[in-house]
Amino acid sequence: MSDATVQPLHAPPPRLMRPSAAMFALYVGVGAFFVFSLYGSDLSPAKLIDGLPNMFRLIGEMFPPSAERLASVGGAMLETFQMAFAGTVIGVILSVPLAILAARSLTPHVSLYYAARWLIALFRTVPDLVWALFFVVTVGLGPFAGMLTLVVDAIGFCGRFFAEAMEEADKGPQEALTALGAGRSEIVFSAVLPAAMPSMINSALFTLEKATRASVVLGLVGAGGIGIELKVAMDLFQYDQAATIIIGVFLLVLIVERVSSALRRIILK
């Protein structure tokens, strides 16, 4: 029997479902807000076309990159990564107890659950630069302010994902340990954490990648690292030196991402 002769008794459903009035209104609303947002962003193709020669000129002035302050730039790069690494490690460690409190199935009390969730949400929703400004004002200029910023950032990110990983951990072993008389801490440390560990390692490595990228920007507000070097080079129109820094940042982020991916493959296999 050829395909053309097949005649089903029931007609197939329509290719497109007619949206409800509410969904149709939502589509129109989202479309209208997008147009409004373009207007608010001062979208101007003419400005973009006018700016093209400037872009090429700037890129031209960046090359060849200057090797004049290579040692100083290298030192700042190392400091940037040190901030990111130390901030991530401390943040990840502090996230574990906070995540236990923020996991609905593990928290000792509902008030602690809401307090932990609220704190994590605060750390996550306030942008890096705001935390950096806060720490620059409170502990002074330099990499320590940057590291504290990255600790807060890591807690905001890892606290949430660690708590979710713990909530999703296999309940079977937890029930088995409960049945044999284990206490809450035994269940957390010998059943929940091992089960959540792969996901937690994954989140921690993403945090390190994120922190490396963020630590570059933190220097712009005086929180240490390579950012301040980049700002000074741009302000003084030393675009060839800026190019060196940008290439350095690119390489640093790339290396961290590659190493992180390799670690992820080795640890999580």
Partner 1 sequence: MSVLPVGHAVRGATLPERAGRVGALAETSDLAIGNLCKSFDGRRPILDNVSLQVPQGQSLALVGANGAGKSTLLRCCLRLIEPDAGRIHLLGRDVRDLNRRALRRLRAEIGFVFQRHNLVAQLSVLSNVLHGAQARHGGPMVWYHPLAPRPLREEAMHCLELVGLADFAAQRADRLSGGQSQRVAIARTLMQRPRLMFADEPVASLDPHAGEEVMELFADLIRRQRLTLVFTSHHIDHALRFGDRVVALRNGGIALDSAAATLDAATLRRIYE
The rounded distance, in Å, linking the Cα atoms of 56 and 221 is 28
Chosen residue from 155, 191, 200, 218 binding partner 1 by CB under 8 A = 191
Residue 267 makes contact with partner 1 by CB under 8 A? no
Interacting stretch for partner 1, rule CB under 8 A, among 15-23, 73-81, 170-178, 206-214? 170-178
Contact by Cβ (8 Å): 145, 135 = yes
The rounded distance, in Å, linking the Cα atoms of 215 and 144 is 11
Chosen residue from 86, 115, 197, 263 binding partner 1 by CB under 8 A = 197
- If the CB atoms of residues 12 and 183 are measured against partner 1, the closer one turns out to be 183
The rounded distance, in Å, linking the Cα atoms of 25 and 125 is 30
- If the CB atoms of residues 52 and 179 are measured against partner 1, the closer one turns out to be 179
Interacting stretch for partner 1, rule CB under 8 A, among 44-52, 76-84, 183-191, 207-215? 183-191
| Min CB(190)–partner 1 separation in Å | 4
Residue 185 makes contact with partner 1 by CB under 8 A? yes
114 Ramachandran zone, left/alpha/beta (phi>0; psi -120 to 50):
alpha
For the record, the structure tokens of 113 come out as 């659950």
- Tell me the number of residues near partner 1 by CB under 8 A: 21
Secondary structure of residue 65 in the 3-state scheme = coil
Residue 19 makes contact with partner 1 by CB under 8 A? no
Residue 199 makes contact with partner 1 by CB under 8 A? no
The rounded distance, in Å, linking the Cα atoms of 182 and 115 is 27
Residue 190 makes contact with partner 1 by CB under 8 A? yes
Cα-Cα-Cα-Cα dihedral sign, residues 137, 143, 148, 150: positive
For the record, the structure tokens of 112 come out as 């602690």
* Token pair 């006018």: residue: 50
| Min CB(169)–partner 1 separation in Å | 10
**Interacting residues toward partner 1 by CB under 8 A:** 170, 172-173, 175-183, 185-186, 189-191, 194-195, 197-198
